[in-house]
Every structure is written in structure tokens, then in C-alpha cells.
């Protein structure tokens, strides 16, 4: 059974979680990047992100370096952007075929998780979906204690049920 973690991260939080999960499950890992970078100016970036997330935009992403046909389990991570997944992750889910694979979605957020996991599920019809993991970061940029324990419970459940 081979596992890969695919994630998008603008500020590093989702990347930190993705790296922890990859090490936890001895999985390969790849970051998703948009072809056109977002504006460096934070306000401009947030405004564009809002527009894209609200309109369901699918910005072009760089092709994956890994061949997904070699993996049966895929962990997909996204920050929360305006209550849904980051647009780059929507592009990923629409561009690659995850049918027949076991997919484990996770999100990071700062208190408004929105409907990220259900939105990801909608795009992943035909995959075997494991329950999603929602990780909340506090003002100190650390996982909240509740999310810390959810992380532990979720990874234990994954290990038990998927034997990875």
C-alpha cells in the first residue's frame, strides 16, 4: 500500500501538517502550486482568493511530479479559503482521477472551518473517502489543544482501519 500527501499551502500551516502526516505514515509528499503566483501584497492576495473561492475558480496548477497511478491512498490537505478549499485544490481534484483510491481529506483553519470537507467530498465521487481531519490554529499559530487531540485520534483511526 503506497501513500502520498498532496497539499496546498500559502502560509505554511497546511505544509507543517502535511509534513507531519507524511512522516507519520511514511508517505511521499508533494506541494501543489499555482502556475501564476498570488500577489505578494496580503490584501490583494486575500481579495483575489475571496473572488476565486466564491466563484469556484480553478487556477492553473503545475503538473504533479509524482504519478498518482502508483498510489492507492492519497491524503489531500488544504487551507480554508472563504469557507471552502483553496482554489488550487479544487483544480487538483478536477484535474486528476482519484477514483478507486482511498482519499483522506484534511483542512487547516483559524476558527471558521466552513464546508471544506463536504466540498472536497463532492469532487471526489468514486473514491473511498475516509473521514476528514479539520485542524484549527490559534492566534499563537499553534494547533489548538482540541485539534492536537483530534490529530492524534484521527491518525490512530487511520492506522487501525487502513493498516498504513
Alpha helices in the chain (DSSP H): 13-24, 42-55, 87-95, 116-123, 145-162
The region that residue 139 occupies, defined by phi over 0 for left and psi between -120 and 50 for alpha, beta otherwise, is: alpha
Candidate list 3, 5, 6, 15; residue touching ligand FMN; CB under 6 A: 15
Distance of alpha carbon 123 from alpha carbon 99, whole angstroms: 10
Q: Residue 59 Cβ, how far from ligand FMN at the closest point, in Å?
A: 13
Of 87 and 101, CB closest to ligand FMN: 87
| Using rule CB under 6 A, residue 39 touches ligand FMN | no
* Segment interacting with ligand FMN (CB under 6 A) among 19-27, 46-54, 58-66, 153-161: 46-54
> Please, what is the minimum distance in Å from the beta carbon of residue 90 to ligand FMN?
13
Pick 80 or 127: Cβ nearer ligand FMN: 80
For the beta carbon of residue 129, count every other beta carbon within 10 angstroms.
17
The helix, strand and coil proportions of the chain, stated in percent and rounded to the nearest 5, come to: 40, 25, 40
- Rounded to an integer, what distance in angstroms lies between the CA atom of residue 111 and that of residue 80? 10
Q: Which of 5, 13, 32, 85 binds ligand FMN (CB under 6 A)?
A: 13
What residues make contact with ligand FMN under the rule CB under 6 A?
A: 9-15, 46, 49-50, 79-83, 108-112, 114, 137
Amino acid at each position: 500500500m503506497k501513500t502520498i500527501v498532496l497539499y496546498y499551502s500559502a502560509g505554511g500551516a497546511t505544509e507543517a501538517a502535511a509534513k507531519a502526516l507524511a512522516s507519520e505514515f511514511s508517505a511521499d509528499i508533494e506541494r501543489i502550486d499555482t502556475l501564476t503566483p498570488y500577489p505578494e501584497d496580503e490584501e490583494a492576495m486575500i481579495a483575489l482568493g475571496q473572488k476565486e473561492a466564491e466563484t469556484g475558480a480553478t487556477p492553473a496548477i503545475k503538473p504533479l511530479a509524482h504519478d498518482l497511478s502508483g498510489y492507492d491512498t492519497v491524503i489531500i490537505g488544504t487551507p480554508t479559503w472563504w469557507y471552502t478549499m483553496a482554489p488550487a485544490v479544487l483544480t487538483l481534484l478536477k484535474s486528476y482521477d482519484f477514483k478507486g483510491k482511498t482519499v483522506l481529506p484534511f483542512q487547516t483553519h483559524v476558527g471558521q472551518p466552513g464546508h471544506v470537507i463536504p466540498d472536497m467530498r463532492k469532487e471526489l465521487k468514486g473514491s473511498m473517502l475516509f473521514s476528514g481531519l479539520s485542524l484549527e490554529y490559534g492566534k499563537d499559530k499553534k494547533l489548538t489543544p482540541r485539534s492536537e487531540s483530534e490529530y492524534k485520534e484521527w491518525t490512530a483511526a487511520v492506522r487501525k482501519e487502513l493498516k498504513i
